Amino acid sequence: MTRPLSDFYTAGRLVPAFFNALAIAGSSVGAVVFVGASGAVDFDWQGTLVLLVGTGLGLVLAGVLLAPYLRGYGGFTLPDFLAERFEAETVRPLGVFGVLICSFPALASVMLAFGLLGQAVFAVPMWIGVAAGALLILVATFLGGMRSLSLSQLAYYAVMLLAGVVAVLVVLWQTGAPAAMDTLLVDEVVPSLPWKPFAQTSPINSFALLFCLAAGMASFPYLLMRSFTAPDAVDARAAFVGAPVFLVLLCLAGPALAGLYEAASIASGDPLSMIAEAVLVVGAVAVLLSTGAALALCMGNVLSYDLYFKSIRPAAPVSRQLFAARLAIVVTLGAAGAVALNWPDETMAGTAAAFSLAASAFLPVLVLGVWWKRLGSEAAVAGMVAGLIVCLYYMIAPHTIPFLFYESSSFFSDATQAQTAAYEALRQNYYVVADTAAQAAVLAKWEASVHPIANWFGVHGALAGVFGVPAGFFVTGLVGLFTSAPSAGIQRFVESLRAKPVWRS
């Protein structure tokens, strides 16, 4: 009776390291593209290097610190592991919330990209592109769950690699040398949208981006769930450690793809243009499907298994659990599509913050939960809540309550003396001016002066993980030191996870 569940949630735990590495690399490409599209970096060699180093480092960290031990647990979902590790059902809903808050904006962005692609290439309304994308994702996930997704992602990776090879060959045939990577497809195709939720403009933001990418990729649930599909802990580690190699293979064709797009734009209507457009569209669809299907299945799994089966209907039969899982995927896709169509700008801004949210919610509790057997449930809950609160506060407060935010933490701001003096002068003028109209004008200038300086060290809000992750580690460790240790059985459970081999001799 458990085989159908194991097939749906973990592909029967039969996916070898090589295939898992391809799936992880293919799913990571979408994250790299969306971060670049959101304005985090310039798409020159330096910006590309930041993206690849951050992403690759995160995957390696996941392989070294987390993946083999999650596989050693042998469960189905990340919240399930947390509930078992800390022997507390109170951790499960918090884990589900963490999965949803970081994964849903990313899935909505995938749906938005489908809509924009359909609009730009096929001249159809955005909702048709979104619906087509949802249908394609359902084909990859609805019936077989993780088993069908694993097979699909191998095909997606092959398509992405083939698109890159064709792009390289066409560009070399046309120009004799790879084109400079000075453009990004989404910037050209959808100029009407502000695809810049944040912009990297300082060394500290470069560091914060690198940190958030590494921490986010190491703890993103839609990637970590692949550790549950490995035959053993050794394969789980090898898959994540090897994935950056396959990711680099895909990204090496980036300059050629950009050059191919430029060629298609200039030579519209000739055979080269048709080849270029076909290659780019097929490659883009493969990227979106690989990422979107993994995100949809990840959220569907936690909603059906952790929320429905473990929390609401623990006696539900296997058929009902599978029905709930498939229904959750449909509902998740529908909600993501609706958000993408109605709030496109907010969708992209949410995606830019997804890495920070994933890292703040999960990285401290997972790392300490695996490597510190004395850590109890109170510390786990406190650390997850603290990480998320700090992260969300820094993302939201500077925009919604800028005066209170700045006044309460002005010593952390990167404001110059001139900016501080201007702010103080406008504040005094506001309370001195008696005329209502003049006061409103001063208030407008005052508000304009506070937004640029309502920050901590100049870090952009989307990179709040640079504060949320340390806060999560600090609170988890501090509370862990002053609360009781878990039961002896749980401590033996943690020891058994680390005792299992994670390398083959």
Dihedral sign from CA coordinates of 116, 122, 128, 129: negative
**Pairwise CA distance, residues 252 & 449, whole Å:** 43
SS3 assignment, position 281: helix
- Tell whether 505 is covered by a domain: no
Torsion region of 397: left, alpha or beta (phi above 0 gives left; psi -120 to 50 gives alpha): alpha
Closest CA to 348 of 51, 110, 32: 110
- Tell whether 428 is covered by a domain: no
Please count the CA atoms within 13 angstroms of the CA of 223 that sit on its side-chain side. Answer: 39
- Quick one: DSSP state of residue 125? -
- pLDDT score of 34: 73
- Tell whether 343 is covered by a domain: yes
Contact 92, 79 (CB under 8 A): yes
Torsion region of 282: left, alpha or beta (phi above 0 gives left; psi -120 to 50 gives alpha): alpha
- Tell whether 56 is covered by a domain: yes
- pLDDT score of 206: 84
Distance between alpha carbon 431 and the CA centroid of its chain, in Å? 45
pTM of the model: 0.90
Domain that holds residue 325: 3-413+454-499
- Tell whether 449 is covered by a domain: no
Q: Identify the CATH number of the domain in which residue 396 sits.
A: 1.20.1730.10
**Pairwise CA distance, residues 103 & 355, whole Å:** 9
Please count the CA atoms within 13 angstroms of the CA of 492 that sit on its side-chain side. Answer: 3
- pLDDT score of 501: 66
- Tell whether 430 is covered by a domain: no
**Pairwise CA distance, residues 104 & 279, whole Å:** 28
Contact 365, 221 (CB under 8 A): no
Number of domains observed in the structure of the chain = 1
- pLDDT score of 178: 45
- Tell whether 344 is covered by a domain: yes
- pLDDT score of 472: 97
Please report, as a single letter, which amino acid is at residue 29.
V
Q: To which residue do tokens 């830019």 refer?
A: 352
Structure tokens at 502: 């994670």
Distance between alpha carbon 162 and the CA centroid of its chain, in Å? 25
- Tell whether 442 is covered by a domain: no
Tally Cβ neighbours within 10 Å of residue 373.
18
φ, ψ of residue 350 in degrees (nearest 5): -65, -35
Closest CA to 399 of 465, 468, 461: 461
pLDDT, tens digit only, all 505 positions of the chain: 456 788 899 998 999 999 999 999 999 988 777 776 665 555 555 666 778 888 999 999 999 999 999 999 988 999 999 999 998 888 999 999 999 999 999 999 999 999 998 988 888 999 999 999 999 999 999 888 999 999 999 999 999 888 888 877 776 666 554 444 343 344 444 444 444 555 556 788 888 989 999 999 999 999 999 999 999 999 999 999 999 999 988 887 766 666 666 655 555 555 666 777 777 888 889 999 999 999 999 999 999 999 999 988 888 898 899 999 999 999 999 999 999 999 987 887 777 789 999 999 999 999 999 999 999 999 999 999 999 999 999 999 999 999 999 999 999 999 999 999 999 999 988 888 878 888 888 899 999 999 999 999 999 888 999 999 999 999 999 999 999 989 999 999 999 888 766 665 5
DSSP per-residue string spanning 401-429: SHHHHHHHSGGG----HHHHHHHHHHHHH
How far lies 369's CA from each of 85, 358, 381, 498, in Å? 7, 16, 11, 11
